[in-house]
C-alpha cells in the first residue's frame, strides 16, 4: 500500500518528522518521497503547490487522498490503518485520554520553547537581544521542560511520555526534544528525559527518519545549553 503514498518533506522540520515517525510505526517504511530543500525554496515548487497551495511541507498523498497538515497526517494514518503496525492511540479509555492530553499539550512546548526562545534567538541579531527578556525566556522554557521531566518521572523508567507503550504522544513530543538536544540542551539536568531520549533515539522508526543533515553536519548553535 505504501507505494500509493508520497511524502514531500524537509530535513530537520518537526512538522515533517512527526508523520515520518508515524509512517514508520505503521509499517510503511520505504514509501516514495522527495526531500525538498528549503534554501532552494523547493517547497514552493510546482509539484508541492499542486497538492498543497500553501507551499508547505509535509505534503502527503495516499492514492487520491491529499492530507498536508502534520497532525492531520498522523491522525489520518492511525484512523485508516489502525490495525496495522504500532497502535498509536490506545483503546483503554483512561490511557487514551492521557495520550490525547499529552499530544495536544505539546503545543506548549512549541509555544513556550520553540517560538518563545528558539525563534527569538534565531531571528534576533546577537547585539539586539535584550538580556533581561532573554533570561525570562530561558526561565519560561526551563519551566516547560521541567513539566515534561515531571511527567516522565511519574511514568517511570522504561515507559513512554504518556503511556506504557509508545504512542502518538511520543510521535508529537520526541522531535522537539531531539531538536533541543541538537541545539545544545544538556539532558543531565533532566534525568528522566535523558533516559527517555537515549532510548527513543535508537528506536527503529526514529532512526529511520532521523533528519539526514543532522547526522552529517554538526549544529551551528548550542544556546540550549543555557536552559
Binding site for a second copy (CB under 8 A): 53-54, 64-72, 75-76, 79-80, 89, 93-94, 96-97, 100-101, 103-105, 107-108, 147
DSSP string, 22-67: HHHHTT-TT--EEEPPTTTTGGGSHHHHHH-TT--S-EEEETTEEE
Judge contact between 103 and 172, C-beta under 8 A: yes
Closest distance between a second copy and the C-beta of residue 138, in Å? 19
Give the largest Cα separation in the chain, rounded. Answer: 54
Closest distance between a second copy and the C-beta of residue 160, in Å? 17
- Among residues 96 and 226, whose Cβ is nearest to a second copy? 96
- Among residues 146 and 208, whose Cβ is nearest to a second copy? 146
Quote the CA–CA distance of 130 and 143 in Å, as a whole number: 20
- Among residues 80 and 203, whose Cβ is nearest to a second copy? 80
As beta bridge partners, residue 8 has: 34, 59
Closest distance between a second copy and the C-beta of residue 156, in Å? 19
- Among residues 52 and 86, whose Cβ is nearest to a second copy? 52
Cis peptide before 58 (omega within 30 of 0): yes
Task: Show the DSSP H helices in the chain as ranges.
Answer: 14-25, 46-51, 70-80, 93-109, 119-123, 131-155, 168-182, 191-200, 204-207, 212-216
Closest distance between a second copy and the C-beta of residue 150, in Å? 9
Closest distance between a second copy and the C-beta of residue 62, in Å? 8
- Among residues 79 and 220, whose Cβ is nearest to a second copy? 79
Amino acid at each position: 500500500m505504501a507505494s500509493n503514498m508520497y511524502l514531500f518533506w524537509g530535513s530537520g522540520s518537526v512538522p515533517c518528522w512527526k508523520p515520518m515517525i508515524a509512517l514508520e510505526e505503521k509499517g510503511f517504511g520505504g514509501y516514495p518521497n522527495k526531500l525538498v530543500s528549503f534554501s532552494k525554496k523547493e517547497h514552493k515548487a510546482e509539484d508541492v503547490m499542486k497538492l498543497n497551495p500553501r507551499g508547505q511541507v509535509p505534503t502527503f498523498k495516499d492514492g487520491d487522498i491529499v492530507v498536508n497538515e502534520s497532525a492531520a497526517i498522523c491522525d489520518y494514518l492511525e484512523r485508516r490503518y489502525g490495525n496495522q503496525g504500532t497502535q498509536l492511540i490506545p483503546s483503554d479509555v483512561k490511557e487514551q485520554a492521557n495520550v490525547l492530553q499529552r499530544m495536544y499539550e505539546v503545543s506548549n512546548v512549541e509555544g513556550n520553547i520553540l517560538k518563545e526562545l528558539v525563534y527569538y534567538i534565531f531571528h534576533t541579531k546577537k547585539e539586539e537581544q535584550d538580556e533581561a527578556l532573554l533570561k525570562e525566556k530561558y526561565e519560561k522554557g526551563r519551566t516547560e521542560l521541567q513539566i515534561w521531566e515531571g511527567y516522565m518521572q511519574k511514568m517511570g523508567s522504561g515507559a513512554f511520555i504518556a503511556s506504557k507503550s509508545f504512542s502518538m504522544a511520543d510521535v508529537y513530543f520526541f522531535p522537539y526534544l531531539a531538536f533541543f538536544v541538537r541545539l545544545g540542551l544538556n539532558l543531565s539536568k533532566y534525568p528522566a528525559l535523558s533516559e527517555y531520549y537515549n532510548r527513543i533515539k535508537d528506536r527503529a522508526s526514529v532512526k529511520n527518519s532521523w533528519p539526514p543533515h543532522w547526522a552529517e553536519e554538526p549544529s551551528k548553535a548550542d544556546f540550549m545549553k543555557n536552559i
